[in-house]
Structure 1
Amino acid sequence: MRAVAVVELATKTRPVAVIVQQGKVLDFIDGQTQREETPEEYVRQEIAKSLVREYGFPKRDIAVEFTLRLGSKKPRADLVVFAMGDDHHQANSYIIVECKEQKVKANDRTDGVGQLQSYMAACPNAIYGMWTNGIERFCYRKVENKGKISFEEIPDIPDFGQSGDVAERPLFDQLKPASSDALLFAFRRCHNYIAGNQGLQKPQAFWELLKLIFCKIHDERESAEVSFYAAGNERNGINGPLKVKKRIDVLFEQVKKDYPAIFSDNDVVALKPQVLAYIVSQLQMYSLLESDVDVKGHAYEEIVGSNLRGDRGEFFTPRNVCNMAVAMLDPSENQLILDPACGTGGFLIAAMNRVIEKIRTAELARWKGDVKRAEPRVADRVKKFASQFMVGIDFNPELVKATKMNMVMNNDGAGGLYQANSLASPATWEIGLRERNLIGNVDIIFTNPPFGSKIPIDDQAILEKFDLGHWSYNEEEDTWTMGSGIQRSQPPEILFIERCVKFLKPGTGRVAMVLPDGILGSPGLGYVREWILTHTRILASIDMHPDTFQPNVSVQTSVLLLERKTDEQVALEEAAGRKNDYSVFMAVASHIGHDKRGNRTYVRDKKGNEIVEEVEETVKEYLDGSPLYKKQKTQRKVVDDNTIQIAQGFRKWLSEQD
């Protein structure tokens, strides 16, 4: 290899709107006030985003820290929504929201739901209220009867322009895509509620939640009318929760028929009716299918990771690293995509959604922006692509189940997921996977294989099938050679390199693989590098930040992009006694978007203040039952992450190569 291309990684931002001082957070509602960055403020800002993005209330009708009069006291309500266009006076309050940090409980004497209800009682026209600490969430409707005020718990507050009755009986075109961390809050809330009120261990609680998420998605995809809901009068007592259970049981029977590989015939939703009604009420307002991919991925993978991460080197790839690798190899609709160690499906989902965006863009152009005519064509092409061109394999059967759900939630590619040992002989795989005929036929691989000396592959039947199970070092000649003997064991990542290359189409197949840095630099692994140089062309090597996999594990990794050589190319180089010379793209991901504790990091100016940018988002809404895409501008802090710049630099470099 000769000249090496190195991408410049200076962090770039769009035009700066605001500089946020250290320890401050920019208020979402007015876009100017800088508030103390506390746990309670984090919850308040997330709920403020939900009120605007999910519930549809205009920012002009929302006040933050609004002063109320309660006799001689003047407390400040966290968020107050006023009647449309009315002045911000206490008498015009319509919805009151109280936000607390996570350690404050709903039954707290001073800061619990009683505080919210006292505020609602002091505002004559405040009909609805919400209390949340990010984990727990309670919504109320104020009821007056013969001069007495009471508070009825309801599943959700109404959307902008809706009545309370609609909020209890949602229609499909009124379901809200989750934004920011709202879905994460909901999943945590449901998971903790099941564990705390059903008497289940957290992994068992996860599987019960999984069943309900499947029911929710099936309802969105197949039902003519919403069946996944719990009305306000169905939350308590005996009869109401039983009605909810009956609807969910019907949905789950249909789910079992659709996904026999995930659920057995005797599986049931094993939650108490009252617990089930609560969980349904917390999820019913969202459209999981329409929610942003990264929002769903972040929420789902956190819950999966806290319950299913095993002891076999399973460290799930951060979403920004998945997006970087996918953007670098840029898959298309008719390319076979594989992840032989798919985990929770992060790479597959990132690849699938990149292709889906290409399909949607092409169909909208074809139909000149007519969404109603384009969407059915998009759905047909996506279904074909997901079923025929997406394949994932993992050794952990529980992860495969969880990944199937993740793929269903993200546009459905569950039919291409299999439980198998990717390193074993294909003859041992189940018939459906064998019929895929993957060896030598895959266009693109994205993968982060399990790695580490603590989980060695010592099965001689597997080792003997790999070149890298036979290599040895000749000290006198300083060369690595393939012998007839078999090594006692190998770390799995070494064998995964060879298996991935053998999966690829010769001459065109490409792989993006996360590997420990020892592969690229350890003197004792020179034979691995020799094998890579012999059988592949190295396209790129990206040195990842040390905190990439934090807070879960501290490991130094790289992302290696390889293209498989043809047998003729390998033979010609062997005959010539030398490798052909070529350029390699190299970069350092010096900014990964989070610190070692997992906290998000942002771009700062020279004084240490965070920078905010104005961005344009595409929002899907419904008009008379038909989907409508529109643009809206919003402000957000610039995440200190240069992975997408690396991908852009690689694509530019690749276009300049012969």
Structure 2
Amino acid sequence: MKAAKPVVAVIVQQGKVLDFIDGQTQREETPEEYVRQEIAKSLVREYGYPKRDIAVELVLRLGTRKPRADLVVFGPEEDHEQANARIIIECKEQRIKGSDRKEGVGQLQSYMAACPNVVYGMWTNGLERFCYRRVDVRGKVSFEEIPDLPSFGQTGDEAERPAFDELKPASSDALLFAFRRCHNYIAGNQGLQKPQAFWELLKLIFCKIHDERESVAVEFYAAGNERAGLNGPLKVKKRIDTLFEQVKADYPAIFQANDVVALTPQVLAYIVSQLQMYSLLESDVDVKGHAYEEIVGSNLRGDRGEFFTPRNICNMAVAMLDPKEGQLLLDPACGTGGFLIAAMNHVIEKIRAAELERWKGDAVRADPKIAARISKFAGSSIVGLDFNPELVKATKMNMVMNNDGAGGLYQANSLASPATWDESLRERDLMGRVDLIFTNPPFGSKIPVDDPAILEKYDLGHSWSYDTNVDRWVMGASTQKSQPPEILFIERCVRFLKPGSGRVAMVLPDGILGSPGLGYVREWILAQTRVLASIDLHPDTFQPNVSVQTSILVLERKTERQIALEEAANRKNDYPVFMAVANHVGHDKRGNRTYVRDKKGNEIVEEAEETVKEYEDGKPVYKKQKTQRKVVDDNTLQIAQAFRKWLSEQD
């Protein structure tokens, strides 16, 4: 069944943002407003508070002053008055710190003290986050720091150690905020360099996922009374150390037997408190991918031509080739795993839809079947290779967080002879057996391949000359002194594919498609493959990280018989090629999100329907909810849909 077409509901003026709570008020689009809107989304989507019980910019009376509280939560159906306030949240832009004398946590606590029925409060700038419970003893008010606010209908005691069915899928940029906050806290309070801090955070994310998958009751938590003092943080450390021992046993290829969580108990307790409320397994794939890849990119991006592919480009390539259960999928330069995760989840959604239809929407009966099929597919059909061992470890983590295909990830030089690969990789016997490849190989003349042992194995590693007598390029006997890696990756990817049906979607620099001196590369491509599509990507696609003009080339490997017939006829068969320009990619050269605007420059907001997984009496239930969102200025999905339609007409 086709999803209902979104209804455009509101026009948002330039420089404004639509208030999430009332869906009508247009506020100034400032850094502080960005934080407030993200927290408002969390209150509704993650904590479950109804919009009708939340006020924005409520005027408070503090003596002669009348400040405005950013977000105030009231009891069900109560009037929005100061005396009825239950939770107060103060949001600041990132440059404001919690220790600031005027706008830090002291400001929040003064607001809480002025409201007689307030129990909880939160102060955040997106990077720092502090939650408090108000304590009244004999007329004296104090504030106890706690790990998190209670969810709707939850008592404070219940929030101390959450149950699994109370964990919240992260929405929008909430997880990005949490990862940044944790990473910076480790770096600032443990005396570690940022890359070291990243690996410590990685260990804890693994522990969190293991807890969600394997534990009977939640073990990844830090209660409010375990954040301070000596004994409390030690209790947290003991629980996490036990989880990490289990993680090491499950993932010996990632962690060594002598690895430990090298954080002080106090730092560890803080980090756990910042992550414990989320369900990483249930959080949206794009939410997790955006958060995780930003942290990975800021720590592990190397100097070997690595620049990670934006998620919408990964999704476009995957939608174009439409992977299915039973096909072998490969990325020989997998980086952080963006293409593989997009492909894996594309297939998983097909599995989930098929099983839910089979069980007539009964999630309780369908979920075990879904899990079994996903496990089988992810374990046998996903393969990723990368030369950077640190990236492979990080990618394994990303795959585990996104439904798990970590067993098919290997550290290897994809361009080297398969005989040099690890035995477990050689046993996969990939050459000529892969159904679909999605990849963005490393680019550049600054990282040339100059090993003669590698170059001599490739047609494109040899010297070529243009023979005017036969009007084509001819391969010579000698090898080149060096080649940029992307040229050799073209040949290696084609050799990986099944003859006659295997297809590859590859990001390539435009010089390969147009430079006169690289005509021999194009000659080889046309001889060995059928070109299905060429998608010209926007110059800002990889900004703000790198400026490079690229295209996506989609190729299908020919059979030996097809190649022989064309050589005998001394001509290539003519065929149509799908071509498109991805001139709207959803962000500008600074990396800022761009949205569709009307003729007056106002941003357009649409009403859309989302599927949300909730728990009722401990059982999963899928519900539909309507939400409003800006229309991202991105035509990559439309290109993929047009290609699928074109391809069906060709077939």
Q: TM-score range by the shorter chain?
A: over 0.9
Residue of structure 2 in register with 1:510 after alignment: 503
What's the secondary structure of 1:656's corresponding residue? helix
Residue of structure 2 in register with 1:170 after alignment: 162
What's the secondary structure of 2:424's corresponding residue? helix
Residue of structure 2 in register with 1:208 after alignment: 200
Residue of structure 2 in register with 1:360 after alignment: 352
Does residue 540 of structure 2 align to residue 547 of structure 1? Answer: yes
1:453-532 → structure 2 map (5 Å cutoff): 453-474=445-466, 476-477=468-469, 479-532=472-525
Equivalent in 250, 253, 265 of residue 261 of structure 1: 253
TM-superposed CA distance for 1:15, in Å, is 2.8
Residue of structure 2 in register with 1:95 after alignment: 87
Deviations along 1:502-556, whole A, 9 cap, x unmatched? 0000000000000000010000100000000000000000000000000000000
Residue of structure 2 in register with 1:56 after alignment: 48
What's the secondary structure of 1:485's corresponding residue? strand
Residue of structure 1 in register with 2:100 after alignment: 108
TM-superposed CA distance for 1:475, in Å, is 6.0
Task: Identify the range of structure 1 (475-484 vs 546-555) with the bigger mean alpha-carbon deviation.
Answer: 475-484
What's the secondary structure of 1:264's corresponding residue? coil
Residue of structure 1 in register with 2:593 after alignment: 600
1:62-141 → structure 2 map (5 Å cutoff): 62-141=54-133
Residue of structure 2 in register with 1:270 after alignment: 262
Residue of structure 2 in register with 1:644 after alignment: 637
1:601-620 → structure 2 map (5 Å cutoff): 601-620=594-613
Cα RMSD (Å): 0.7
Residue of structure 1 in register with 2:385 after alignment: 393
Task: Identify the range of structure 1 (471-480 vs 335-344) with the bigger mean alpha-carbon deviation.
Answer: 471-480
TM-superposed CA distance for 1:85, in Å, is 1.1
1:178-577 → structure 2 map (5 Å cutoff): 178-474=170-466, 476-477=468-469, 479-577=472-570
Separation in 2 of the partners of 1:385 and 1:620?
Answer: 23
Residue of structure 2 in register with 1:653 after alignment: 646
Equivalent pair of 1:551/1:598 in contact (CA under 8 Å):
yes
Separation in 1 of the partners of 2:300 and 2:158?
Answer: 37
Separation in 2 of the partners of 1:117 and 1:489?
Answer: 65
Separation in 1 of the partners of 2:139 and 2:261?
Answer: 43
Separation in 1 of the partners of 2:172 and 2:160?
Answer: 24
Percent identity reads: 83
TM-superposed CA distance for 1:476, in Å, is 4.5
Separation in 2 of the partners of 1:209 and 1:474?
Answer: 54
TM-score (normalised: structure 2)? 0.99
| Counterpart residue identity of residue 656, structure 1 | E
Equivalent pair of 1:43/1:101 in contact (CA under 8 Å):
yes
Separation in 2 of the partners of 1:471 and 1:339?
Answer: 27
TM-superposed CA distance for 1:71, in Å, is 1.2
What's the secondary structure of 2:479's corresponding residue? coil
Separation in 1 of the partners of 2:39 and 2:166?
Answer: 19
TM-score (normalised: structure 1)? 0.98
Deviations along 1:398-431, whole A, 9 cap, x unmatched? 0000000000000000000000000000010001
Separation in 2 of the partners of 1:471 and 1:345?
Answer: 34
What's the secondary structure of 1:484's corresponding residue? strand
Residue of structure 2 in register with 1:6 after alignment: none
Deviations along 1:53-86, whole A, 9 cap, x unmatched? 0000000000000001111111100000001111
| Counterpart residue identity of residue 313, structure 1 | G
Deviations along 1:571-592, whole A, 9 cap, x unmatched? 0000001001110000000100
TM-superposed CA distance for 1:471, in Å, is 3.6
Higher relative contact order (CA 8 A, sep 6+): 1
Residue of structure 2 in register with 1:5 after alignment: none
TM-superposed CA distance for 1:16, in Å, is 1.6
TM-superposed CA distance for 1:473, in Å, is 1.6
Deviations along 1:452-500, whole A, 9 cap, x unmatched? 1000000000000001011412364453111110000000000000000
What's the secondary structure of 2:561's corresponding residue? helix
Q: Which runs of 4+ in 1 moved over 6 A?
A: none
Separation in 2 of the partners of 1:624 and 1:535?
Answer: 58
Equivalent pair of 1:471/1:527 in contact (CA under 8 Å):
no
- When the two structures are aligned, how many residues end up with a matched partner? 646
| Counterpart residue identity of residue 220, structure 2 | F
| Counterpart residue identity of residue 593, structure 1 | G
Separation in 1 of the partners of 2:612 and 2:138?
Answer: 44
Deviations along 1:343-396, whole A, 9 cap, x unmatched? 000000000001000000000011111100100000000000011000000000
Separation in 1 of the partners of 2:29 and 2:397?
Answer: 35
What's the secondary structure of 2:554's corresponding residue? strand
Separation in 2 of the partners of 1:125 and 1:316?
Answer: 49
TM-superposed CA distance for 1:262, in Å, is 0.4
Separation in 1 of the partners of 2:555 and 2:309?
Answer: 19
Separation in 1 of the partners of 2:517 and 2:131?
Answer: 61
Equivalent pair of 1:471/1:480 in contact (CA under 8 Å):
no
Deviations along 1:137-157, whole A, 9 cap, x unmatched? 000000001111000000000
Deviations along 1:114-156, whole A, 9 cap, x unmatched? 0000101111111000000000000000000111100000000
| Counterpart residue identity of residue 33, structure 2 | E
TM-superposed CA distance for 1:166, in Å, is 1.1
Task: Identify the range of structure 1 (189-198 vs 476-485) with the bigger mean alpha-carbon deviation.
Answer: 476-485
Equivalent pair of 1:331/1:355 in contact (CA under 8 Å):
yes
Separation in 2 of the partners of 1:476 and 1:626?
Answer: 72
| Counterpart residue identity of residue 358, structure 2 | R
Separation in 1 of the partners of 2:464 and 2:522?
Answer: 13
Residue of structure 2 in register with 1:633 after alignment: 626
Equivalent pair of 2:465/2:476 in contact (CA under 8 Å):
no
Separation in 1 of the partners of 2:246 and 2:381?
Answer: 26
Equivalent pair of 2:7/2:608 in contact (CA under 8 Å):
no
Does residue 616 of structure 2 align to residue 623 of structure 1? Answer: yes
| Counterpart residue identity of residue 546, structure 2 | V
Equivalent pair of 1:341/1:392 in contact (CA under 8 Å):
yes
Separation in 1 of the partners of 2:49 and 2:7?
Answer: 27
